[in-house]
């Protein structure tokens, strides 16, 4: 079994929201008891509907959003809500992030070489000549010209900007890169180019990816293992091929089955039916640890909305939070 590079245990991220002038503020539970294990050299997919907490979970791994519970293990350092800056700095060494919007994540006042080498500057590098050379080298690695280093970012298309963002992530030789929906803001024609570039770089530099998306076709094509998220809860994890192969069976969480049934097919499988979810979407405000999918689940039982959910092993590298399926 490969070495674990990142592990989260019962990770929680809450936000206080003021709903009225007096009294206690309400708590919006964005991520609740999320446990993941990402192994060296793999691409781990995190999927779910827009707004389910995928990017919030990713942000908590690099302290863009604070933890309110649980632990993160990275680079031999265990982090929790009380960990200080020195602990986070040690843990985040070798971790970089590629953001969803290449237009908003790159400062328009900087030249390309400055954008690419910004992580180097933050790491303490101050040799401008070395940084310019590194920027030119990385531009070639991502399919752009070394001459682009002196240009301004507003001269580039969305796909080119995302290549520059990838070059920036590579500038400090990371081991682990969080790809937060790196193709969702791009034209469909550019998707495959960026995905193939990520795969080529992974093979060349032995990278580990956390690939966040709501595009299930990309997950099937790119990832080795995956986790399914619903309203802040991880409801299922497993081998990607196994989960997709069992899409019509009884070995998956009911939400996973509904999600997979929504994938459009060019040549529809005979007998395949789309699962239409009914019922009210539960609120994440002041929500507890019980199953948040229960109000929409056709197999819901009385205890589902009352007792706390926890992952259980149903196969090799396969866990589900439903006690009745899997």
Residue 326: the pLDDT is: 54
Domain boundaries, position 239: 4-94+175-320
pLDDT band at 21 (very low <50, low <70, confident <90, very high): low
pLDDT digits (tens, 9 = 90+) for 74-119: 988 999 999 999 999 999 989 999 998 888 899 999 999 999 999 9
Q: List, in order, residues 6 or more apart from 171 with CB less than 8 Å away.
A: 116, 117, 118, 119, 120, 134, 135, 138
Q: Is 114 inside a domain boundary?
A: no
Answer whether residue 168 shows pLDDT above 60. Answer: yes
Q: Is 40 inside a domain boundary?
A: yes
d(CA 62, CA 259): 28
**The pTM is what?**
0.92
pLDDT digits (tens, 9 = 90+) for 237-289: 999 999 998 876 666 889 999 898 888 877 777 777 888 888 888 888 888 88
Give percent of the chain with pLDDT exceeding 90.
60
Overall number of domains in the chain: 1
pLDDT digits (tens, 9 = 90+) for 120-143: 998 888 899 999 999 999 999 999
Residue 19: the pLDDT is: 67
Q: Is 123 inside a domain boundary?
A: no
Q: Which residue has the higher pLDDT, 97 or 315?
A: 97
Residue 66: the pLDDT is: 94
Q: Is 145 inside a domain boundary?
A: no
Q: Is 102 inside a domain boundary?
A: no
**CATH number of domain containing 262:** 3.40.50.300
Residue 23: the pLDDT is: 72
Give percent of the chain with pLDDT exceeding 70.
97
Q: Is 312 inside a domain boundary?
A: yes
Answer whether residue 179 shows pLDDT above 70. Answer: yes
The three state secondary structure string of the chain is: CCCEEEEEEEEEEEEEECCCCCCCCEEEEEEEEEEEEEECCCEEEEECCCCCCHHHHHHHHCCCCCCCEEEEEECCEEECCCCCHHHHHHHHCCEEEECCCCCCCCCCCCEHHHHHCHHHHHCCCCCHHHHHHHHHHHHHHCCCCHHHHHCEHHHCCHHHHHHHHHHHHHCCCCCEEEEECCCCCCCHHHHHHHHHHHHHHHHHHCCEEEEEECCHHHHHHHCCEEEEEECCEEEEEEEHHHHHHCCCCCCCCHHHHHHHHCCCCCCCCCCCCCCCCCCCCCCCECCCCECCCHHHCCCCCHHHHCCECCCEEEECCEEECCCCCC
Highest mean pLDDT among 107-116, 186-195, 300-309: 107-116
Q: Is 189 inside a domain boundary?
A: yes
């Amino acid at each position: 079994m490969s070495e674990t590079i990142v592990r989260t245990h019962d990770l929680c991220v809450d936000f206080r929201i003021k709903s009225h002038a007096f009294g206690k503020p309400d708590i919006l539970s964005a991520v609740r008891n999320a446990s993941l294990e990402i192994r060296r050299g793999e691409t781990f997919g995190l999927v779910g509907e827009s707004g389910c907490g995928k990017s919030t979970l990713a942000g908590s791994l690099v302290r863009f959003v604070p933890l309110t519970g649980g632990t993160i293990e990275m680079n031999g350092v265990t982090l929790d809500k009380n960990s200080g800056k020195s602990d986070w700095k040690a843990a985040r060494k070798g971790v970089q992030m590629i953001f969803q919007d290449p237009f908003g994540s790159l400062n328009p006042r900087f030249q390309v070489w400055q954008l690419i080498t910004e992580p180097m500057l933050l790491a303490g590098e101050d040799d401008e000549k070395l940084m310019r050379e590194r920027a030119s080298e990385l531009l070639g690695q991502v399919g752009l010209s070394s001459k682009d280093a002196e240009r301004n970012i507003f001269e580039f298309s969305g796909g080119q900007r995302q290549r520059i963002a990838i070059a920036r992530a590579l500038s400090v030789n990371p081991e682990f890169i969080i790809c937060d929906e790196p193709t969702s803001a791009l034209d469909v024609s550019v998707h495959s180019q960026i995905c193939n570039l990520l795969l080529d770089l992974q093979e060349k530099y032995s990278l580990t990816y956390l690939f966040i998306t709501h595009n299930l076709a990309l997950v099937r094509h790119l990832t080795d293992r995956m986790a399914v998220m619903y309203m802040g809860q991880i409801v299922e994890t497993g081998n990607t091929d196994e989960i997709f192969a069992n899409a019509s069976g009884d070995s998956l969480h009911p939400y996973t089955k509904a999600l997979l049934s929504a994938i459009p097919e060019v040549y529809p499988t005979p007998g395949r039916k789309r699962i239409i979810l009914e019922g009210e979407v539960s609120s994440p405000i002041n929500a507890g640890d019980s199953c948040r999918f229960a109000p929409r689940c056709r197999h819901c039982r009385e205890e589902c909305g009352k007792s706390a959910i926890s992952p259980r092993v149903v196969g090799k590298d396969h866990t589900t939070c439903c006690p009745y399926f899997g």
